[in-house]
Structure formats: C-alpha cells, structure tokens
RNA sequence: GGAGGGGUGGCCGAGCGGCUCAAGGCGGUGGUCUUGAAAACCACUGACGGGUAACCGUCCGGGGGUUCGAAUCCCUCCCCCUCCGCCA
C-alpha cells in the first residue's frame, strides 16, 4: 500500500497553520464565475441567490479600494518627506498637519470598506456549493435515483420487530434511564449493546485501515473557524450544540475536525490522496425534526460515527468519490447487510457538497431502507473556505485541493441494522460472522 | 488557577518609531565551472489585492488604539514554551 503518509505528515505539521481570511479567495472565484454560479445553483431548486446584489457590493468595494489606496500612496510619500525634512533639521509641521487630515479621510474609507467587505463575505459564506453536472435533477428526496442494490432482504418467517423492541427486550437498550439522566433522544447501552457498539466501531476502523486510511483521534469540540471551514457555519448554527460561555461547538461529525486538520496548509502533491478515518461521537441538536424518528436509535442527539475523509487531487476527486463509496459499502458487505445506493438530486444535496451518494441499509423492522452512510465530494468548496491547498511538482503557485468524506459507517444505525436483520423468531439476534471476533466469539444475543 | 518567557517570509533568525518599502542564513530555481555529480561562485526566489501597464497598496499571531509615519509604543484576545498548584 502506498497510501500511508504518517511520517511525512508529522514533519509537515510542525508549523502551525496561519489562517487567512478566506473572503478574498471566494470573491475572486465568484467574480470570475458569476454566471456559472447563478446557473449552477438553480439545480438546487432553492431560492436563487441575488447575484446582482453581489455585483453591486463588489463594484463599491473596488471603488473604495482605489480611492483609499491612492491616498495611502500619497501618505507614504508625505511621511517619507517628513522624515527627510526632520533629518535636515527643517520644519515639517505644515506637511504633518496635511497628512493628519488625509489620515482621517483614509480611516473613513477603510471603515466603509470594512462594512462592504463584511456584507460581501456574508453573501459568499451563505452561498452553497454548485452541484456537479452529474448530480441528477430533482426537487427532493423522492427524486433521488437508485443506482444499485447489494445482497437481498432476509427472509423472515415471522413479523419482524423494530430494533428498540429487540434491544429493550434483550436488556441492552435503555431509553427511559437516558431520559432521566439527560433527556429525550439519548440512549444508554448495557452489556452486549455497549460492547456491540464498540465492536462495530473497531471493526469499521479496521476496514478503513485496510483501505489505506490513517486513524486519527481529534477533539470533539471545535472553534468557529473550523465550523466555517467545512460549511456548518454561518448558516446552520441552530443545528449545533454550543458550549456556553465559550466559542466552542460540539462536533456534528468528524468531518469538521478532520477536514480542518490541514486548514491553512499547503500540501505536497505526492501527499495526495491523504486519507483519514476517525471514530467520534457526533452531536446534533436535531432542531426542526420534531416528531421524526422519535423512537429508537435512528435520530439521536449523540451517536457514534466512523468517518472517512480524503484530501484529493482535483483531477482525481470524482473517481475518488467512487472509491470512497466503495469503502463504505465494503463494511456493509462484510456484515452481510442488504443495502442500496442512491444519488442525491440537486434539491436534496447538502450545502457544501457538489455530489453525494447515500447508502441505505435495509431495516426489516421498519420495512424500509434507511441512510447509513453519505459520501460526498466537496471539490474545492471546503478547501477554499478552510484554505487547504497543494503545490504541484514544479508548479509556482499552489492551488486548492479537493476534499471528500463519507460515513464508514454510522455506528448507531449499523447496530440497528444488525439487530433488525439478525433477529430470530425466538427474539434472539444472530451476529454477523465478521463481528464475532470483536465480541469475544459471541455469535448470538439471547435473553438471559 | 498562579508566575515568567515567547509568536517575524517555505524553515531558522536579526530588528524594538523614519537609510528596513524585514538584515543574514538555510532551503528552492536558474547559471558559471565540470565528462557527469559534488563543492565553490553568481543571479533569482513570499502571499493577497488594485491597475492594460509602469506601478501602487496591504500583510511581522488576531483585533483595536497612539502617530505625519508602527514589526517596533499602548490596550485586548488567541496560541506555544518553562516553573508552581490542581487533576484523569
């Protein structure tokens, strides 16, 4: 395997990244692609961005820059003149007074400029990524085409139960006690369930390692800049848990800390692709999903997820999305779980993504396919916001690389799938063979 | 939590109000020399923005202030290091 880069990574990370304001980078891009941006965004079927407003702001910005810079050039000359006069022992008070007046005007202009730039930056940061040409047209979920299936639905000779029934009956899942110590949308796992959660996580990490991913363990809280870099902020603050009294947020996915590992850095071309895997808890406020999936593990405020993240060469990122998706699928295949892969249409696409595949696992208890992984190519959208670049061999300039990520997989939902697919008529659950080594050889969960 | 010391271009490091529009070194690129390489020597070598261009502007951890003029002075925040305390 030639994809492990641990040693090189360490040496290149000695220097702390200096984060630049990303506004200017965004600006240039939109300026040059104003029409393409406006056309591309139509595919999202949401309200159209006010491109004219942006153009107006940008014109005002450039006019202000020209005026302010002209004055600054004069001021610099004047100051040099003052220095010359003083060294010659001559009086410079008149010139100093004139420069002082000019300084005030410059300050005014700079203040105006700051306001314009803030508006422009806000406009840009709230603009979603442009869907890839291969992203299908469509307004919402119901328009997502199914691309392929793997495996078959298990044939059960009895009416299947939902996972919470099974989990509670087998003494593993306890929602009531979680409600007592925290609140709704939390769960306590006991015994086999706690161990199964751990087993699934370890199994998934090992799969990823086989595929060349370097395991990382990151903080579960990040700052505002990181959240902005991957696109959660400024638009989706209400979905996040924020630490009171501090500018830290609980991560909604490992995508945030892992992608931002290289924020502000310039990577070497031969470091690409760099692939990481992280198992972290994920915290989501689930604001706006009241009444949805209120029972069971499907939609929790806290859940574990194994996340695959790739930093790719721009020319290879679309191929890398297929590869990444196949890595996520591999986990389900080894667990013997039936699933299908769908492509998200423009109207269902996430804010930062240009193309996304969802993997949906079959849940007999619910009698539906449910999302268990979401694999996306962000192209340079996140790289631009987080300022992550690479330098091609022999190239003078560095350029933005492409970032991708996908769940490999959502651990809680995988546990749901294992329970519902492995259930037997007697209420016990047969475990997939691949998991047994992680469960101390246990092959079946039974009533005590 | 307490007390100190620091954050300067890809890296190291000087500068502590105006001959510095950041010295010097390392690294990188090109050249001379050489059969080739090394060494030596010479030249070039940051980012971003504005401008057709010449050129101009901004950037010395972030933000604010003082000044005709700030890497340099003041305020504030962040991060790193050392010691003490506490703690898994």
Of A299, A334, A340, A436, the active-site residue reads A299
- DSSP string of A384-441, one letter each residue: HHHT-EEE-TT-SSEEE-EEEEEEEEEHHHHHHHHHHHHB-TTS-EEPPGGGGGGGTT
For residues A83 and A34, which has the higher predicted lDDT (pLDDT)? A83
Residues above pLDDT 90, as percent of chain A: 53
Return the structure tokens found at A397: 């300039």
Q: Which DSSP state fits A242? A: B
For residue A6, the model assigns a pLDDT of 24
Whole-number Å distance, CA A109 to C1' B70? 20
A396 touches strand B (CB under 7 A): yes
- Average pLDDT for residues A139-148, to the nearest whole number? 94
Whole-number Å distance, CA A396 to C1' B30? 14
Helix or strand (DSSP H, E) at A302: strand A302-312
Class of domain A6-125: mainly alpha
For residue A262, the model assigns a pLDDT of 83
Of A67, A269, A286, A371, the active-site residue reads A371
The tens digit of pLDDT for each residue in A132-141 reads 999 999 998 9
Q: Which of A188, A348, A217, A341 is nearest to A280 (CA)?
A: A217
Could you tell me the pLDDT band of residue A2, with boundaries at 50, 70 and 90?
A: very low
Dihedral angle at the C-alpha atoms of A240, A244, A247, A249, nearest 10 degrees? -30
For residues A64 and A325, which has the higher predicted lDDT (pLDDT)? A325
Between CA A317 and CA A323 the distance in angstroms is: 9
- Average pLDDT for residues A49-56, to the nearest whole number? 83
Q: Give the residue whose CA sits closest to B67 at C1'.
A: A100
For residues A346 and A54, which has the higher predicted lDDT (pLDDT)? A346
Backbone φ/ψ region at A124: left (φ over 0), alpha (ψ -120 to 50), beta: alpha
The tens digit of pLDDT for each residue in A22-42 reads 444 456 667 667 777 788 888
Among the residue ranges A80-84, A143-147, A314-318, A405-409, the one predicted with the least confidence is: A80-84
For residue A54, the model assigns a pLDDT of 86
On the question of pLDDT at A83 being above 70, the answer is: yes
Whole-number Å distance, CA A111 to C1' B53? 30
Judge whether A262 and A276 are in contact, CB under 8 Å. no
Whole-number Å distance, CA A64 to C1' B68? 23
Long-range contacts of A47-55 (CB under 8 A, 24+ apart): A49/A123, A49/A127, A50/A123, A53/A123, A54/A30, A54/A120, A54/A123, A54/A124
For residue A29, the model assigns a pLDDT of 66
Between CA A444 and CA A440 the distance in angstroms is: 11
Between CA A23 and CA A123 the distance in angstroms is: 10
The neighbouring-strand residues paired with A308 are A277, A406
Whole-number Å distance, CA A117 to C1' B24? 39
- DSSP string of A259-281, one letter each residue: HGGGTT-EEEGGGPSEEEEEEEE
A371 classed as catalytic: yes
Judge whether A349 and A131 are in contact, CB under 8 Å. yes
Could you tell me the pLDDT band of residue A12, with boundaries at 50, 70 and 90?
A: very low
The tens digit of pLDDT for each residue in A149-162 reads 999 999 999 999 99
A67 classed as catalytic: no
Domain boundaries, chain A: 6-125, 141-445
Between strands A146-150 and A248-250, the pairing is: unpaired
The tens digit of pLDDT for each residue in A217-276 reads 998 998 888 898 899 988 888 899 988 777 789 999 999 999 988 887 777 777 889 999
A79 touches strand B (CB under 7 A): yes
CATH 3.40.367.20 fits domain A141-445: no
Could you tell me the pLDDT band of residue A48, with boundaries at 50, 70 and 90?
A: confident
Report the mean per-residue pLDDT for chain A. 87
A103 touches strand B (CB under 7 A): yes
The tens digit of pLDDT for each residue in A290-337 reads 778 889 999 999 999 999 999 999 889 999 999 999 999 999 999 999
A295 classed as catalytic: no
Whole-number Å distance, CA A75 to C1' B43? 34
Among the residue ranges A192-201, A282-291, A339-348, A420-429, the one predicted with the least confidence is: A282-291
CB-contacted nucleotides of strand B (7 Å): 9-12, 18-19, 47-51, 56-58, 61, 63-65, 67-69, 79
- Average pLDDT for residues A413-419, to the nearest whole number? 98
A299 classed as catalytic: yes
The tens digit of pLDDT for each residue in A418-443 reads 999 999 999 999 999 999 999 999 99
Strand B contact residues in chain A (6-35), C-beta within 7 Å: 14-16, 18, 20-21, 24-25, 27-28, 31
For residue A408, the model assigns a pLDDT of 92
Residues above pLDDT 70, as percent of chain A: 92
């Amino acid at each position: 395997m030639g994809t492990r880069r641990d040693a090189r990574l360490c040496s290149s990370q000695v220097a702390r990244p200096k984060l630049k304001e990303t506004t200017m980078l965004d600006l240039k891009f939109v300026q040059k692609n104003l029409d393409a941006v406006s056309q591309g965004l139509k595919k999202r079927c949401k309200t159209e961005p006010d491109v004219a407003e942006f153009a107006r702001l940008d014109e005002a910005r450039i006019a202000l820059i020209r005026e302010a810079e002209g004055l600054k050039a004069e001021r610099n000359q004047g100051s040099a003149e003052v220095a010359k006069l003083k060294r010659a022992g001559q009086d410079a008070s008149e010139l100093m007074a004139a420069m002082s007046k000019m300084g005030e005007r410059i300050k005014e202009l700079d203040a105006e400029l700051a306001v314009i730039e803030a508006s422009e930056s806000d406009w840009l940061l709230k603009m979603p990524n442009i869907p890839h040409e291969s992203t299908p047209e469509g307004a919402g979920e119901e328009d997502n085409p199914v691309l392929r299936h793997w495996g078959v639905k298990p044939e059960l000779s009895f009416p299947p139960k939902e996972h919470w029934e099974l989990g509670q009956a087998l003494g593993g899942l306890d929602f009531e006690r979680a409600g007592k110590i925290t609140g709704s949308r939390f769960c306590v796992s006991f015994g086999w369930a706690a161990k199964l959660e751990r087993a699934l996580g370890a199994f998934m990490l090992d799969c990823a390692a086989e595929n060349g991913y370097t395991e990382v363990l990151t903080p579960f809280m990040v700052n505002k800049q990181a959240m902005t870099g991957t696109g959660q902020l400024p638009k989706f603050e209400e979905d996040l848990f924020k630490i009171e009294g501090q500018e830290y947020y609980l991560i909604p996915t490992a995508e945030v800390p892992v992608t931002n590992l290289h924020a502000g850095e310039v990577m070497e071309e031969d470091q690409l692709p760099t692939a990481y895997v992280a198992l972290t808890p994920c915290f989501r406020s689930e604001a706006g999903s009241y009444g949805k999936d209120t029972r069971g593990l499907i939609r929790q405020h806290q859940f574990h997820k194994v996340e695959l993240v790739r930093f790719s060469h721009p020319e290879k990122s679309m191929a890398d999305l297929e590869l990444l998706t196949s890595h996520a699928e591999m986990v389900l295949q080894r667990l013997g779980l039936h699933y299908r892969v769908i492509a998200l249409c423009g109207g269902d696409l996430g804010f930062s993504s240009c193309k996304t595949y969802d993997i949906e696992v079959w849940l007999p208890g619910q009698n539906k396919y449910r999302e268990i992984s979401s694999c996306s190519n962000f192209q340079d959208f996140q790289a631009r916001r987080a300022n992550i670049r690479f330098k091609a061999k022999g190239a003078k300039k560095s350029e933005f690389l492409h970032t991708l990520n996908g769940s490999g997989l959502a651990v809680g939902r995988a546990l749901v799938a294992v329970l519902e697919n492995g259930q037997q008529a007697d209420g016990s659950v047969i475990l997939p063979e691949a998991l047994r080594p992680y469960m101390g050889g246990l092959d079946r969960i039974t009533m005590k």
